[in-house]
Amino acid sequence: MASATPIPAAEPARPGRFRNALLTTILLFPAGLWYVLLLVAPLAIVVIFSFGTRARNGGYEPGFVWDNYARAIDKADPFITSLVMASAGAIACLLVGLPLAYYLATRAGRHKGLLILLLVIPFWTSFLIRTYSWLIVLGPDSGLAGWVSAITGDQEFRVLGTPVAVLIGLVYGYLPLMVFPVYVTLERMDRTLIEASKDLGANRWATFRQVTLPIALPGLVTGTILVFIPMMGEYVIPQILGYGRTYLMGNALVTDFLEARNWPSGSARAVGLILIMFVTITLYLWFVNRGRKTREVSML
């Protein structure tokens, strides 16, 4: 800085550097502003509100109490229901998604591109419409419940409004998120490993268990996380297919905020839900990084 020689070179570069910094700031400003105003600010306000008390007419009154968290833990039913439903949904996605991903990666041949596209399209298409259509498919008129009633004679048989309907909706809505990562890992798999395993006398099941499954594991974990997280926060599916009877976290949040107008209580629940997400993600990242390290070691 004090030396004489670099100054002539540094001097003309300075306005350029300033312009560069300015351009970078301009490029990042709108997205950054949006993140601050519509992501950080809302989440921060929820954290602040979670320590407050309910105003008499509903809403928020400043304060610093832990009551809302105590109540959220005390009335943890929606949380537990969400946990059970999301776990069941993730397992169901796993059971349905793994064979499908395996087929797509190893057996689909030249139809692969088309089949993947057919998997993507519903995923990006009108979640609400695809959910409500199950009202017809499972319904008592000419849907599943109607068929079962006709066959067994049990006129009271219903699927809609039960946890089973919600589970079907969850699996239907999020299955592609399980299939894609598993498909990607299986697709990248070195196929000669299977040949080697067979040459060494392993049967089909042993090859699957000892070669394919360990290779697919990172994809399976990614898929499980990707389906588990949105299922934990799902609101529309239990509302439509569960008639609001399967009471998940999303429904509890809406009740807290809009019906009971107890913003602090809802905020505490929301903070709890966000914390669970971050713990899950952290564990996941830990798992992925651990996996990477061992893979490097094994390659050495």
**Cα(138)–Cα(133) distance, integer angstroms:** 9
Residue 267 touches other proteins, criterion: CB under 8 A:
yes
Q: Toward other proteins, which CB reaches closer, 254 or 288?
A: 254
**Cα(95)–Cα(227) distance, integer angstroms:** 13
Task: Determine the interface stretch with other proteins among 5-13, 61-69, 270-278, 290-298 (rule: CB under 8 A).
Answer: 270-278
Residue 9 touches other proteins, criterion: CB under 8 A:
no
> Of the candidates 51, 79, 134, 228, which one interacts with other proteins according to CB under 8 A?
134
Residue 70 touches other proteins, criterion: CB under 8 A:
no
Q: Toward other proteins, which CB reaches closer, 119 or 215?
A: 119
Residue 294 touches other proteins, criterion: CB under 8 A:
no
Contact, 140 vs 149, CB < 8 A? yes
Residue 198 touches other proteins, criterion: CB under 8 A:
yes
Residue 109 touches other proteins, criterion: CB under 8 A:
yes
Q: What is the largest CA-CA distance in the chain?
A: 98
Residue 189 touches other proteins, criterion: CB under 8 A:
no
Residue 72 touches other proteins, criterion: CB under 8 A:
no
Q: Toward other proteins, which CB reaches closer, 163 or 266?
A: 266
Provide φ and ψ at 59, rounded to 5°. Answer: 100, -145
Non-local CB neighbours of 160 within 8 Å, separated by 6+ positions: 134, 135, 138, 139, 140, 145, 241, 243
Q: Which ranges constitute the DSSP H helices of the chain? A: 6-35, 41-49, 67-74, 77-106, 112-124, 127-137, 144-152, 163-188, 192-199, 204-207, 213-232, 236-240, 249-254, 263-299
Residue 143 touches other proteins, criterion: CB under 8 A:
yes
Structure tokens at 147: 């068929």
Question: 262 - beta bridge partners?
Answer: 59
Residue 177 touches other proteins, criterion: CB under 8 A:
yes
Provide φ and ψ at 53, rounded to 5°. Answer: -125, 160
Q: How far is the CB of 300 from other proteins (least distance, A)?
A: 27
Residue 203 touches other proteins, criterion: CB under 8 A:
yes
Q: Toward other proteins, which CB reaches closer, 163 or 239?
A: 239
Question: 170 - beta bridge partners?
Answer: none
Interface of this chain with other proteins, residues 224 to 263, rule: CB under 8 A: 226, 229-230, 232-236, 240, 249-250, 253-254, 257, 263
Interface of this chain with other proteins, residues 22 to 51, rule: CB under 8 A: 23-28, 30-32, 34-35, 38-43, 45-46, 49
C-alpha distances in Å from residue 114, one per residue of 7, 104, 111, 125, 180: 61, 10, 5, 17, 14
Residue 125 touches other proteins, criterion: CB under 8 A:
yes
**For 228-265, b where at least 16 C-beta lie within 10 A, e where not — what string?**
bbebbbbeebbbbbbeeebebbbbbbebbbeeebbbbb
Residue 155 touches other proteins, criterion: CB under 8 A:
no
Task: Determine the interface stretch with other proteins among 4-12, 20-28, 72-80, 286-294 (rule: CB under 8 A).
Answer: 20-28
Task: Determine the interface stretch with other proteins among 7-15, 69-77, 141-149, 287-295 (rule: CB under 8 A).
Answer: 141-149
> Of the candidates 89, 181, 218, 242, which one interacts with other proteins according to CB under 8 A?
181
Q: Toward other proteins, which CB reaches closer, 67 or 122?
A: 122
**Cα(112)–Cα(40) distance, integer angstroms:** 41
